[in-house]
């Protein structure tokens, strides 16, 4: 899309502008996530979920109809502002199941989210520029020829519209305050129960005011805040990686890339999505039960570092060997990343009580979105800069890109150790 807008004067500048479009969504989400979390705690998770899905229908469609860079930037920003889904969804998943099944519930959220991050780009890769790829179906003067990136956005918006309607039938999980009738009935039951024990005790109990415990200051909840900070570091890494991977795969061989087409990238991401779905839905809850979320974050983070380093050498392969090795590496990387995020989801939701879970996830989404806003812009900028230093003596070309990603990953791993990361054990 950036290439067709004509705003990038050089091939190396495309990643720079694409990064800002990706960051605009996260910036919008960072500005409003706390508000959506508070709304979810006050009015219920269901309302925020419906509004978020409806926002996708409107602004994702407008993004597909973008005619210039600024329209694409603004439509993504507004979508981020009105899409407060992920925080309430995590709270919803925890509240649907008992504590011992929270790993499975949050694993389902991570699976859906991670699969979306993979299937979305794959869908774009297959369906972008349909008039060029499928001239027998889409005429050269059709709407899809004028807006070559509208078709994948339209498919996504139709799916989001169906989900929006289906959400009207999902149950609300927030335990709202009882109604006046419920309070009266409960008071009558309490009075009757106490009367059996003695009339004097009943009078004394009836006269005692009910006390409500004050809510905990979430910013002083270190188990919550430490897990959020670690989550932000890994999210920054994952968002930068997501941005860089497609740019790297589609960049020419002379610049250290793979010279892949959008369809090739879509195929790789689709295979990763299927493998991720299988692992998260079947193996992750079992592995988490054995090792615990913190140990898994450390192990998977450490494995990710040599894996990313190998990408530079994967680019030297050709043919079927390149396809097999790249698909395996991409699948493993996505499984590791989403598993780390799932473990941090578990820590965050265990660190607070239910009446503050929406607000806690709102804080997590705000801080994480700020870091994710840096990810695409920073990743795209570093990638464009690295492509200009192919002959450098120190970490030339894409070696510098993967080195920076590994530094961020290593920082995240170090922060999973005490005394920084603390778990809450009293639940």
Say if 12 falls within a structural domain: yes
| Length reported for the chain | 427
- pLDDT per residue over 256-298, tens digit each? 888 888 778 877 877 777 777 777 767 877 888 888 889 989 9
What spatial distance separates the first Cα and last Cα of the chain, rounded to whole Å? 48
Say if 309 falls within a structural domain: yes
Range of the domain at 59: 2-172+218-414
Say if 182 falls within a structural domain: no
Q: Work out the pLDDT band at 304, boundaries 50, 70, 90.
A: very high
Say if 65 falls within a structural domain: yes
CATH number of the domain where residue 272 is located: 1.20.1250.20
Give the pLDDT confidence score for residue 198 in this predicted structure: 42
Q: What's the mean pLDDT in 123-129?
A: 83
- pLDDT per residue over 78-110, tens digit each? 999 998 887 788 788 878 877 777 777 777 787
Q: Work out the pLDDT band at 416, boundaries 50, 70, 90.
A: very high
Q: What is the pTM of this model?
A: 0.69
**Token digits of residue 305:** 């570092």
Say if 423 falls within a structural domain: no
Domain count, the chain: 1
Say if 420 falls within a structural domain: no
For the four alpha carbons of 386, 388, 390 and 396, in that order, the dihedral sign comes to negative
Give the pLDDT confidence score for residue 191 in this predicted structure: 40
Say if 211 falls within a structural domain: no
Q: Could you give the C-alpha distances from 348 to 27, 80, 97, 172, 385, in angstroms and in order?
A: 22, 22, 16, 21, 36
To which residue do tokens 């578990």 refer? Answer: 346
Say if 72 falls within a structural domain: yes
More confident of the two residues 190 and 27 = 27
- pLDDT per residue over 306-364, tens digit each? 999 999 898 888 888 888 999 899 888 988 888 898 888 888 878 887 677 777 877 88
């Amino acid at each position: 899309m950036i290439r067709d807008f004509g705003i990038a004067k050089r091939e190396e500048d495309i990643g720079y502008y694409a990064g800002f479009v990706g960051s605009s969504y996260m910036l919008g989400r960072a500005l409003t996530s706390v508000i959506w979390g508070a709304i979810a705690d006050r009015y219920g998770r269901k309302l925020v979920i419906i509004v978020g899905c409806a926002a996708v229908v409107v602004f994702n469609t407008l993004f597909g109809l973008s005619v210039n860079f600024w329209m694409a930037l603004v439509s993504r920003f507004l979508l981020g502002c009105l899409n407060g889904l992920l925080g309430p969804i995590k709270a919803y998943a925890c509240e649907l199941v008992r504590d011992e099944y929270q790993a499975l519930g949050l694993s389902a959220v991570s699976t859906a989210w991670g699969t979306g991050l993979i299937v979305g780009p794959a869908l774009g890769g297959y369906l972008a520029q349909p008039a060029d790829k499928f001239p027998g179906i889409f005429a050269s003067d059709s709407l899809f020829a004028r807006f070559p990136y509208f078709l994948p956005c339209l498919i996504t918006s139709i799916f989001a519209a169906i989900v929006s309607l289906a959400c009207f039938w999902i149950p609300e999980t927030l335990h709202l305050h009882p109604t006046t009738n419920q309070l009266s009935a409960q008071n009558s039951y309490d009075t009757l129960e106490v009367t059996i024990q003695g009339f004097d005790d009943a009078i004394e109990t009836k006269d005692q005011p009910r006390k409500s415990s004050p809510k905990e200051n979430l910013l002083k909840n270190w188990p919550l805040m430490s897990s959020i900070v670690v989550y932000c570091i890994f999210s920054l890494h994952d968002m930068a990686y997501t941005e860089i991977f497609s740019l790297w795969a589609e960049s020419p061989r002379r610049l250290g890339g793979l010279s892949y087409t959008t369809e090739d990238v879509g195929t790789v991401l689709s295979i990763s999505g299927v493998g991720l779905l299988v692992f998260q839905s079947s193996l992750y809850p079992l592995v988490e039960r054995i090792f615990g979320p913190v140990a898994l974050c450390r192990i998977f983070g450490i494995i990710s570092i040599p894996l990313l380093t190998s990408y530079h050498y994967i680019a030297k392969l050709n043919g079927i060997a390149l396809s097999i090795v790249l698909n395996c590496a991409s699948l493993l990387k996505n499984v590791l990343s989403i598993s780390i995020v799932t473990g941090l989801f578990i820590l965050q939701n265990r660190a607070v009580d239910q009446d503050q879970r929406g607000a806690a996830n709102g804080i997590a989404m705000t801080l994480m979105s700020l870091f994710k806003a840096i990810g695409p812009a920073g990743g795209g900028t570093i990638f464009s800069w690295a492509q200009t230093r192919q002959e450098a003596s120190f970490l030339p070309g894409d070696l510098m890109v993967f080195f920076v990603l590994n530094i961020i990953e290593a920082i995240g791993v170090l922060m999973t150790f005490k005394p920084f990361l603390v778990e809450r054990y009293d639940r």
